[in-house]
Structure 1
Amino acid sequence: MELRQLEYFLMVSKTNSFTRAAERLYVSQPAVTNAIRILEEELGVQLFDRNQKQAVLTAEGQVFFNHVENIMCGVSKTIFEINELKNLNSGLLTLAITPIAGTWPIPKLLKIFKCKYPNIQISFIEENVTEVQTLLIENKADLGIVILGDNNNLIDYTLISSQELVICCSKNHCFQRKNSIDLSELVNEPLILLTQNCLLRKIIVKEFERLNTLPQIAFESNHIQTIKSLVACNAGLTILPYDLCDNSLVTIPLDTPLTIDTAIAIKKNKYISHAAQAFLTLAKENFLKHHEN
């Protein structure tokens, strides 16, 4: 049974004529007649009473008509909705994102995307890098936005920005007038960092390990705003991407610059929805390059 047969059946039912049905469908009458004959053979019933001047539905034909009309209505609605998705007039984009990765240029990219595709809904899942990558592998998110450094070989990464890390201190701290600072000067300073499962924390600790030491961590938190508030009241120093700092803190560059790379992550060989592909295309057009393991 084919959709074409059902379409022919409905047209004959509505016009009560094989000839008029063929005319409206822009096909030959034999094509319509043959399609209905095959349909009747498949069903094992006669759908039309051909002994009258018009093609009149039999009792079985009327039952079939009631159901087929609903089916074809559903098919038309489905095709319309699929075309809406293809044309990016609707859809849902699920982004798994790490708190640090959500800095510039991600807000700008999201604004561009939303202006271009206002009818696509965007849903965020905020997790650490490991969890974001797990969500991608398990197909629970379309795309991930992560910091590079703990890459998974099941995932492709598109690098979109690099950002410098800076030292943040309060306006009352003794470092506040420094033009730059060496990481070794922080060895005995109390630091306020993100929790251990955060990749930024791991990157910072690794830099201290290069100096054969470890940071003196006074506080740790999952929330950037909590960290900044503690720094602002002079409870310690922190190290953050420059774009996460604000006027409540003093920012000091490192003598040896330390940067982090932000990338869009996607599971390898995964089918990409039209919405996800549009987001990825915008990122590539506006920012950087592809990066693979």
Structure 2
Amino acid sequence: MDIKQLHYFAEVAKHKNFTKASQVLFVSQPSISKMIKSLEDELGVTLLDRSEREVILTDTGQLVYEKTLKILQLLEEIPSSVNELVHVQRGKVKMGILPTISALLFPKIVAGFKKTYPMIEIQMVEYTAKQVEMQIEQGNIDFGVTVLPVNTRLYQPVSLLAEELVVIVSAHHWLAGKTSVSLVELQHEPFILFTKEFVLHDIVWQACSQAGFQPKVAHMTSLWDFCCEMVASQLGVSLIPRSMANRLHHLSVHIVSISNPKIAWELALIFPRDKYLSYASRELIAYILANPPHQAG
């Protein structure tokens, strides 16, 4: 069974006449008759009652005709549907974001995108930076926001926000009156670290090791708010991105720059190098790159 068979059959059924169908299709009557006969043979039924002057649909012919009209209608809709999708009027995107950081940076970007493309559904799911890579690899999300470095053989990273890590201390800490500190000066301080699921844990641990010491871990957490509250309660110091530290006005904490060494923290958007990205995903990525987070409010 092919589309041409169904198309010829539908025209004959519509006009109830082979001659009229031939004129509409610009095909000879014998060719149409042969095509419909092959369809009947394939289905093992009689579709048309040819005994009368006017062609009449049999019971099975009526059923096939109704189904055929639906099929032909769907075929007609394909070009316009594809055109609509290609021009990003609709679609669905599933994006992985980092807890707290991305939530603070991306709402305005998404809101702006939705104004332009209201029919595109965007689902944002929170993961740690390490989980974002795994979720993309498993196909659970289309792309995501994470912290560099990443496996550049598998993922294409695009930098969104580059800044430094800073130390946050209690307002009563001896560092509270300083503007900067060398990392090695913190070797005897209790650290509030993030758990090993966070790239930030690895960055801080590596920086301390290169400075000649291992951080004295007072507590490890996966919660940003809890980490900052513990620092404010004088239970330890922590190293966090400056953009996050700048939002802690409600807590009794003080921000101290790290003079030596500078510890980079880079937020990046990543997507798979060798997997298909939907038109909607590509358009959202392009929009994010044109409106990077540090410019979004």
- TM interval, shorter chain, is 0.7 to 0.9
The 1:59/1:114 distance shift into structure 2, 3 A limit, reads closer
**Pairing of 1:48-63 with structure 2 (within 5 A):** 48-63=48-63
1:11-60 CA-to-partner distances (Å, cap 9, x unmatched) read 4323323455566xx64153x87356324314305433344333321343
The code of the aligned residue for 2:35 comes to I
How far residue 270 of structure 1 moved from its aligned partner, in angstroms, is: 0.6
The runs of 5 or more residues in structure 2 that have no matched partner are none
Structure 2 contact 169–254 (Cα < 8 Å) conserved: yes
- Give runs of aligned pairs for residues 149-164 of structure 1, distance below 5 A: 149-151=149-151, 153-164=153-164
Q: How does 1:274-293 map to 2 (within 5 A)?
A: 274-287=279-292
User: How far apart are the structure 2 equivalents of 1:229 and 1:152?
Assistant: 36
CA 1:47–1:200 in structure 2 vs 1: closer, same or farther (change >3 Å)?
same
Instruction: Provide the TM-score with structure 1 as the length reference.
Output: 0.84
1:260 counterpart = 2:260: no
Residue 127 of structure 1 deviates from its aligned partner by: 2.3
Q: Is residue 94–residue 141 contact of structure 2 (8 Å, CA) maintained in 1? A: yes
> Does structure 1 retain, via aligned residues, the 8 Å contact 2:207–2:263?
no
Q: 1:58 to 1:125 in 2, by over 3 A?
A: same
Deviation at 1:217?
A: 1.6
Alpha-carbon offset, residue 240 of structure 1: 1.1
Matched, 1:250 2:247: no
User: Deviation at 1:151?
Assistant: 2.2
- Which secondary structure does the structure 1 equivalent of 2:174 belong to? coil
- Partners of 2:230 and 2:282 lie apart in 1 by 40
Match of 2:26 in 1: 28
Does structure 1 conserve the Cα–Cα contact (< 8 Å) formed by 2:17 and 2:55? Answer: yes
Q: How many equivalent residue pairs?
A: 285
State the partner residue of 1:291. Answer: none
CA RMSD of aligned residues (A): 2.9
Equivalent AA in structure 2 for residue 15 of structure 1: H
Residue 212 (structure 1) aligns with:
212
Report the equivalent of 2:143.
Answer: 143
- Supply the distance in 2 between the matched residues of 1:191 and 1:35 (Cα, whole angstroms): 83
Q: Percent identity?
A: 24
Q: Which residue of 2 aligns with 1:47?
A: 47
Q: What are the within-5 Å matches in structure 2 for residues 177-256 of structure 1?
A: 177-245=177-245, 246=247, 247=249, 248=251, 249-256=253-260
CA distance, structure 1, for counterparts of residue 278 and residue 22 of structure 2:
38
Given the superposition, is the C-alpha separation of residues 200 and 49 from structure 1 closer, same or farther in structure 2, using an over 3 Å criterion? Answer: same
Kept after mapping to 2: 8 A contact 1:48/1:57? yes
User: Are 1:271 and 2:276 counterparts?
Assistant: yes
Instruction: State the 1:271 CA deviation.
Output: 0.8
The normalised TM-score by structure 2 is: 0.83
Alpha-carbon distance between aligned partners in 1 of 2:126 and 2:39, rounded to the nearest angstrom: 53
Provide Cα deviations, 1:190-243, integer angstroms capped at 9, x if missing partner: 221210121111001100001110112211111111111212222222111122
Contact 1:164 1:259 in 2 (8 A): yes
Moved more, 150-159 or 223-232: 150-159
Give 1:86 deviation, angstroms: 3.0
Moved more, 202-211 or 184-193: 184-193
Equivalent pair of 1:18/1:29 in contact (CA under 8 Å): no
| Contact 1:101-1:146 within 8 A present in 2 as well | no
Moved more, 261-270 or 204-213: 261-270
Offset of 1:73 from its aligned partner?
5.0
**Aligned partners of 1:262 and 1:231: how far apart in 2?**
24
User: Structure 1: 5+ residue runs without aligned partners?
Assistant: 289-293
1:113-146 per-residue CA deviation (whole Å, 9 max, x = no partner) reads: 2232222222233223332212212222100211
Q: Does the C-alpha gap of structure 1 residues 47 and 233 become closer, same or farther in structure 2, counting only changes over 3 Å?
A: same
Shift of 1:187: 1.1
- CA distance in 1: counterparts of 2:48 and 2:16, whole angstroms: 9
Q: Distance in 1 between matches of 2:37 and 2:192?
A: 77
